[in-house]
């Protein structure tokens, strides 16, 4: 019997060993749903924490603290005696030997493997853009974006005091999907509303927020009327929305798009995602197919064809239903996680496996302080926008946050933020430089912008 109080090695297992790689929505839901089955569960993640990704942009814009939306995976699962958590990186996998390799070289055996390592950002082959235009996937990404946005205002104020001018405060967000829309709206909020009283020499409200989207509309995955509403709401907030605008190049302090080069004090990337590299490791197994973003094509039992003891979930899975690919968002990931437990339970009983079907309750994105768009599918069908959509968004996100403490602290932070116009987590830590900033100062000084000191 695999009692979790003993080391994993050096003993004989009699219960099926389920190894779950990835502690995101899919992996955590799979582990939680397996709590009462006679299996031994190991969750492997290279991070110690589960991140509530839908609120990551609020960490990036200083509303919430990182710990408000992140919880140790082993704390979430600590009351499940059949589950252990291993903070390690999976470096290889072998579907015939039924093992995964870990960073130390050790092999972790499994009877059933659940892959849920999600997605990462894609710079479409231009990986040199990554340090210039950070994307938003992890807590570290969020604090890096926060550092850059807050630092831009501080450096402009400093330059104004010391030299009487500052480079334009242009914030460029590349990509008009939900993340790009939420980031652009939140930057506009912070500049227009939250920073105003704090500075003496610059006017944060005069900074520009540009949202660049290659396709003809923002939120392209949403119905057209909601895209139009989102664009109108962004425009009301002062965001300059440029659709049909492809970014062709970018560098420290500038972005080239639609044939024009614009200065950018901070550039953020919300344009592309690709599957985590684990999909490629799996692709060595014959018969396994990846789509163009590296997602593993799975059948309605969430297996790649011909590998019934390997499940691929969440953003790493390419699952089609009614001719459409299920999107890489939180809801299908959670449902897939729960479903894997149902399949394993059926296997244990010798019953036929139930097919997975995604139950779409809808989709929503916030736009700044009091606005949102929502495509509701359940409990009724509706397109919502404005304040009611925003309240719905708040309620749903508080409800889905894992951990009672996080619910309290996020609730308190929101009340505080929305009523006092103060951001609670306006911390700049780490490096005090911005890419390209010095170039812009030098160019300005050369152009004679520096005013001579009165002294």
Cα 288 from Cα 283, distance rounded (Å): 5
Q: Which of 38, 130, 131, 140 binds its own copies (CB under 8 A)?
A: 140
Question: Least Å distance between CB 435 and its own copies?
Answer: 17
Closer CB to its own copies, residue 154 or residue 263?
A: 154
172 within 8 A of 255, measured Cβ to Cβ: yes
Cα 254 from Cα 262, distance rounded (Å): 6
Question: Least Å distance between CB 223 and its own copies?
Answer: 38
Question: Least Å distance between CB 292 and its own copies?
Answer: 31
Closer CB to its own copies, residue 366 or residue 409?
A: 409
Asked if residue 12 binds its own copies (CB under 8 A), the reply is yes
Footprint of its own copies on residues 398-427 (CB under 8 A)? 405-406, 408-409, 412-413, 416, 420, 422, 424-427
Question: Least Å distance between CB 418 and its own copies?
Answer: 12
Question: Least Å distance between CB 138 and its own copies?
Answer: 8
Question: Least Å distance between CB 114 and its own copies?
Answer: 18
Asked if residue 198 binds its own copies (CB under 8 A), the reply is yes
Q: Which of 280, 388, 430, 443 binds its own copies (CB under 8 A)?
A: 430
Asked if residue 157 binds its own copies (CB under 8 A), the reply is yes
Asked if residue 161 binds its own copies (CB under 8 A), the reply is yes
Q: Which of 36, 38, 78, 235 binds its own copies (CB under 8 A)?
A: 78
Q: Which of 91, 109, 308, 329 binds its own copies (CB under 8 A)?
A: 109
Of the residues 144, 182, 213, 231, only one is catalytic, namely: 182
Asked if residue 162 binds its own copies (CB under 8 A), the reply is yes
Closest listed residue to residue 149, CA positions, set 172, 131, 126, 167: 172
The dihedral built from the CA positions of residue 28, 29, 35 and 41, taken in this order, carries a sign that is negative
Catalytic: 231? no
Asked if residue 164 binds its own copies (CB under 8 A), the reply is yes
Question: Least Å distance between CB 30 and its own copies?
Answer: 18
Q: 99 forms bridges with which residues in the sheet? A: 94, 109
Cα 138 from Cα 60, distance rounded (Å): 10
Binding region for its own copies (CB under 8 A) out of 42-50, 177-185, 368-376, 385-393: 42-50
250 within 8 A of 129, measured Cβ to Cβ: yes
82 within 8 A of 279, measured Cβ to Cβ: no
Cα 141 from Cα 420, distance rounded (Å): 27
Closer CB to its own copies, residue 135 or residue 373?
A: 135
Q: Which of 428, 439, 444, 449 binds its own copies (CB under 8 A)?
A: 428
Asked if residue 35 binds its own copies (CB under 8 A), the reply is no
Closer CB to its own copies, residue 4 or residue 92?
A: 4
Q: Which of 102, 290, 370, 394 binds its own copies (CB under 8 A)?
A: 102
Q: Which of 39, 70, 247, 270 binds its own copies (CB under 8 A)?
A: 70
Asked if residue 454 binds its own copies (CB under 8 A), the reply is yes
Q: CB-based contacts of 385: which residues, under 8 Å, 6+ apart? A: 226, 229, 230, 233, 371, 372, 373, 374
Q: 115 forms bridges with which residues in the sheet? A: 21, 312
Q: 67 forms bridges with which residues in the sheet? A: none
Question: Least Å distance between CB 110 and its own copies?
Answer: 11
114 within 8 A of 313, measured Cβ to Cβ: yes
Closer CB to its own copies, residue 201 or residue 244?
A: 201
Binding region for its own copies (CB under 8 A) out of 150-158, 295-303, 327-335, 356-364: 150-158
Binding region for its own copies (CB under 8 A) out of 60-68, 284-292, 306-314, 366-374: 60-68
Closer CB to its own copies, residue 113 or residue 312?
A: 113
Asked if residue 67 binds its own copies (CB under 8 A), the reply is yes
Closer CB to its own copies, residue 96 or residue 453?
A: 453
Which residue numbers are catalytic? 182
């Amino acid at each position: 019997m695999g009692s979790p109080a003993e080391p994993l090695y050096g003993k004989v297992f009699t219960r099926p060993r389920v190894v779950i790689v990835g502690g995101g929505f899919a992996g955590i839901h799979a582990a939680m749903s397996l709590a009462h089955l006679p299996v031994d569960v190991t969750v492997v993640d290279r991070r110690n924490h589960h991140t509530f990704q839908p609120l990551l942009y609020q960490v990036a814009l200083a509303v919430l603290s990182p710990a408000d939306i992140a919880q140790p995976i082993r704390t979430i699962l600590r009351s499940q005696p059949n589950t252990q958590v291993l903070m390690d990186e999976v470096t290889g996998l072998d579907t015939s030997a039924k093992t995964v390799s870990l960073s130390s070289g050790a092999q972790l055996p499994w009877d059933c493997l659940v892959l849920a390592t999600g997605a990462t950002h894609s710079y479409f082959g231009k990986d040199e853009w990554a340090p210039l235009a950070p994307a938003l996937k992890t807590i570290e990404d969020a604090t890096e974006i926060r550092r850059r946005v807050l630092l831009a205002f501080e450096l402009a104020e400093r330059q104004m005091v010391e030299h009487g001018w500052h480079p334009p405060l242009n914030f460029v967000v590349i990509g008009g999907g939900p993340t790009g829309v939420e980031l652009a709206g939140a930057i506009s909020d912070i500049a227009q509303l939250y920073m105003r009283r704090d500075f003496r020499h610059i006017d944060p409200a005069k900074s520009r927020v540009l949202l660049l989207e290659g396709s003809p509309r923002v939120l392209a995955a949403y119905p057209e009327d909601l895209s139009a509403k989102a664009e109108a709401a962004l425009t009301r907030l002062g965001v300059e929305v440029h659709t049909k605008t492809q970014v062709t190049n970018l560098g420290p302090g500038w972005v080239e798009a639609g044939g024009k080069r614009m200065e950018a004090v901070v550039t953020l990337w919300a344009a592309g995602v690709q599957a985590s590299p684990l999909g490629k490791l799996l692709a060595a197994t014959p018969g396994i197919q990846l789509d163009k973003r590296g997602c593993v094509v799975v059948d309605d039992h969430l297996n790649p064809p011909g590998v019934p003891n390997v499940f691929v979930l969440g953003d790493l899975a390419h699952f089609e239903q009614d001719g459409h690919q299920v999107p890489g968002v939180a809801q299908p990931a959670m449902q897939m996680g729960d479903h894997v437990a149902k399949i394993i339970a059926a296997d244990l009983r010798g019953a036929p496996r139930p097919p997975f079907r995604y139950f779409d309750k809808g989709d929503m994105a916030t736009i700044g302080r009091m606005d949102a768009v929502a495509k509701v599918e359940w409990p009724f069908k509706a397109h919502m926008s404005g304040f009611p959509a925003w309240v719905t968004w708040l309620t749903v996100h508080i409800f889905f946050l894992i951990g009672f403490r996080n619910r309290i602290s996020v609730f308190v932070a929101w009340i505080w933020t929305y009523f006092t116009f103060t951001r609670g987590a306006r911390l700049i830590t780490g490096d005090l430089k911005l890419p390209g900033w010095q170039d812009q100062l030098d160019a300005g000084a050369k152009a004679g912008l520096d005013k001579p000191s009165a002294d």
